[in-house]
């Protein structure tokens, strides 16, 4: 007689309380009746299949898990091809999942390496630009320093030239004072000569009255002496003309210094008057002509020397004035250069400020890129670590897979034996 009910009972050790039931042993049973109805019980209490599946799933037990072999699996494993069997084993062991994760990690690692190479390229470009900006900044600072040194040396040169010019002016002022002293001395000498002339004229009048009384005997001698005096006077007049021409030429040379030479010109006029008076005296007095001539020569020599000194001083003054003009022109040029330099410095300072701002921006970009690079390196290290962990897990899974393959091979052999036994049993039953 056929059985009315088929029953299967399975017990689980729940000492770790993984199954949410308050017993150390959990018993699950299934009864199948002829009409196909199934009754599920949990520790003797009737419960629905859905509830049992939920309770077991909380403990990680599922009908689709690798630790549950569904009915017909062994027969199907014996009949499928080795490739499909290998694929099933990979799915059971979890190697396929780790292969996918490994491929994803390698893809992310390649993307990270590409990002790192891109970032390194940008860093090299930015660093090159920063080096160029640093070189331009150093050249600008060197240019400013050289300009400052040039200005300082030019200022020192101008100061030295001004000091030399002042020293020469002081020297020429002393010379002018000395010449003025000589002029005053000549004026005093002129007054003395006027007094002597007055005395000579008085004596001449006295002698003339006496000579008229003496008679005509001495007239001839006087006429002879007058002739000699006239000849000497002619010679003296020639010398005076030459001296006058020389003085006139010197006066034209010193037209720009009329104020300083006014006293000397007055002296020349007085000397000319004195020369005319001496001419009249030479016409009448032969005895005094030699003395007067020597005195006049001495005065003329001293006057010539004075004019020579004045000419030399005038030439020095003219040179000093020319040098002052050159210094003034140099000063104007330096002021113009200084203005241009100030404008250039302002322009270059603005450019330096812009370059520094750009440098700061590039430095900020570099820091951001370095931070990104550091993050990418951290990600790379994490990916490498994760890849190593995946590799170790994969090795463990491969070892587990080999073990499962051996078990499956043994199960296949058992299934083959079972299949042969079933075939033999069916054959015998048919017989």
pLDDT in tens, 327-362: 667 767 776 776 676 777 777 777 777 777 777 776
Token output for 210: 């006496």
The answer on pLDDT for 261 being more than 60 is: no
- Alpha helices (H) along 215-288: 217-253, 258-284
Question: In angstroms, rounded to a whole number, what is the distance separating the alpha carbons of residues 266 and 249?
Answer: 16
DSSP three-state, residue 193: helix
CA atoms within 13 A on the CB side of 325: 6
Q: What percent of the chain has pLDDT over 70?
A: 61
Q: In this predicted structure, what is the pLDDT of residue 326?
A: 72
Q: In this predicted structure, what is the pLDDT of residue 320?
A: 60
Q: 37 near 7, Cβ under 8 Å?
A: no
The answer on pLDDT for 29 being more than 90 is: yes
DSSP three-state, residue 287: coil
The answer on pLDDT for 11 being more than 70 is: yes
The answer on pLDDT for 46 being more than 80 is: yes
Residue 42 forms beta bridges with which residues? Answer: 28, 45
The answer on pLDDT for 277 being more than 70 is: no
Q: In this predicted structure, what is the pLDDT of residue 40?
A: 92
Token output for 309: 């000194």
CA distances from 42 to 21, 63, 197 (A): 9, 17, 172
Q: In this predicted structure, what is the pLDDT of residue 280?
A: 62
pLDDT band at 39 (very low <50, low <70, confident <90, very high): very high
Question: In angstroms, rounded to a whole number, what is the distance separating the alpha carbons of residues 393 and 407?
Answer: 20
Domain ranges for the chain, please list them: 1-62, 173-341
CA distances from 105 to 40, 66, 115, 373, 393 (A): 45, 26, 15, 18, 14
State the CB neighbour count (10 A cutoff) for residue 395.
10
pLDDT band at 262 (very low <50, low <70, confident <90, very high): low
pLDDT band at 66 (very low <50, low <70, confident <90, very high): low
The answer on pLDDT for 381 being more than 70 is: yes
């Amino acid at each position: 007689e056929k059985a009315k009910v088929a029953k299967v009972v399975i017990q689980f050790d729940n000492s770790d309380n993984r199954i949410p039931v308050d017993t150390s042993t959990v018993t699950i049973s299934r009864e199948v009746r002829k009409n196909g109805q199934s009754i599920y019980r949990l520790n003797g209490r009737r419960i629905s299949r859905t509830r049992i599946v939920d309770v077991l799933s909380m403990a990680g037990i599922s009908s689709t898990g690798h630790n549950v072999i569904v009915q017909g699996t062994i027969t199907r494993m014996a009949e499928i091809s080795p490739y499909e069997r290998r694929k099933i084993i990979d799915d059971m062991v979890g190697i396929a999942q780790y292969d996918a994760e490994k491929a994803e990690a390698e893809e992310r690692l390649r993307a990270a390496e590409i990002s790192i190479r891109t970032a390194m390229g940008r860093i090299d470009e930015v660093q090159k630009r920063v080096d160029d900006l640093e070189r331009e900044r150093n050249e600008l600072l060197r240019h400013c320093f050289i300009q400052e040194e040039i200005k300082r040396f030019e200022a020192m040169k101008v100061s030295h030239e001004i000091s030399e010019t002042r020293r020469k002016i002081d020297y020429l002022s002393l010379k002018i004072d000395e010449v003025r002293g000589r002029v005053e001395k000549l004026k005093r000498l002129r007054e003395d000569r006027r007094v002597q002339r007055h005395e000579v004229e008085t004596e001449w009048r006295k002698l003339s009255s006496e000579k008229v009384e003496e008679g005509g005997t001495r007239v001839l001698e006087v006429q002879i002496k007058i002739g000699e005096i006239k000849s000497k006077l002619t010679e003296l007049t020639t010398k005076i003309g030459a001296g006058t021409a020389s003085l006139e030429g010197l006066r034209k040379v010193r037209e720009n210094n009329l104020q300083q030479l006014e006293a000397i010109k007055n002296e020349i006029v007085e000397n000319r008057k004195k020369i005319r008076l001496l001419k009249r005296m030479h016409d009448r007095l032969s005895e005094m002509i030699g003395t007067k001539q020597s005195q006049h020569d001495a005065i003329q020599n001293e006057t010539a020397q004075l004019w020579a000194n004045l000419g030399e001083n005038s030439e020095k003054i003219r040179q000093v004035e020319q040098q002052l003009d050159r210094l003034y022109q140099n000063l104007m040029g330096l002021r113009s250069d200084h203005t241009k330099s100030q404008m250039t410095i302002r322009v270059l300072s603005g450019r330096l400020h812009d370059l520094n701002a750009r440098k700061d921006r590039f430095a900020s970009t570099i820091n951001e890129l370095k931070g990104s690079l550091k993050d990418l390196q951290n990600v790379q290290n994490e990916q490498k670590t994760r890849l190593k962990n995946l590799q170790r897990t994969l090795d463990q899974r491969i070892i587990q897979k080999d073990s499962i393959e051996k078990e499956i091979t043994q199960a296949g052999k058992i299934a083959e034996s079972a299949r042969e036994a079933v075939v033999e049993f069916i054959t015998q039953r048919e017989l």
